[in-house]
């Protein structure tokens, strides 16, 4: 069974640029959530996708957007990058009916 994978591992961007992060969910999981984790803090919920539809969103501006594909993989897009967007971005997947979610290794984004 393949776990949650994310790409790229690390990314450096400059302020104002756009970035796309990718996530492949664990086999059999149809729900994907994205989290932002700043250094020394817990993960903050960005949004969740279930069967290609966004069905929950945290307190993040519209420049954070996402997609889920028919194979349940997902993308997180961030436009007009700001310095405060520097963080570890985590993807987690679960079966829609289950409580437990499993995290990928994360993408470390640095905005200069």
Partner 1 sequence: EDQVTQSPEALRLQEGESSSLNCSYTVSGLRGLFWYRQDPGKGPEFLFTLYSAGEEKEKERLKATLTKKESFLHITAPKPEDSATYLCAVRNTNAGKSTFGDGTTLTVKP
DSSP state string for 84-112:
GG-EEEEEEEE-TT-S--EE---EEEEE-
Nearer to partner 1, 78 or 90 (CB): 90
CB burial class (10 A; 0-12, 13-18, 19+) of residue 35? buried
The one among 19, 24, 29, 43 contacting partner 1 by CB under 8 A = 43
- 66 touching partner 1, by CB under 8 A: no
* Beta-bridge partner residues of 41: none
CA 52 to chain centre: 14
Nearer to partner 1, 8 or 16 (CB): 8
Provide the minimum distance between the beta carbon of 55 and partner 1 in the complex, in angstroms, as a whole number: 6
Asked whether 29 and 10 are in contact (CB, 8 A), the reply is no
- 56 touching partner 1, by CB under 8 A: yes
Nearer to partner 1, 67 or 88 (CB): 88
Site residues for partner 1 per CB under 8 A: 4, 6, 31, 33, 35, 40-45, 48, 50, 55-56, 58, 88, 90, 92, 99-106, 108
């Amino acid at each position: 069974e393949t776990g949650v994978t994310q790409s790229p591992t690390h990314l450096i961007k400059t302020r104002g640029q756009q970035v796309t992060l990718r996530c492949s969910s664990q086999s059999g999981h149809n729900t994907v959530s994205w989290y932002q984790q700043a250094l020394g803090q817990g993960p903050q919920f960005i949004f969740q996708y279930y069967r290609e539809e966004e069905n929950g969103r945290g307190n993040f501006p519209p420049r954070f957007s996402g997609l889920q594909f028919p194979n349940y993989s997902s993308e997180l897009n961030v436009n007009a990058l700001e310095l405060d967007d520097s963080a570890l971005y985590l993807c987690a997947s679960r079966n829609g009916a289950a409580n437990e979610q499993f995290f990928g290794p994360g993408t470390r984004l640095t905005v200069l």
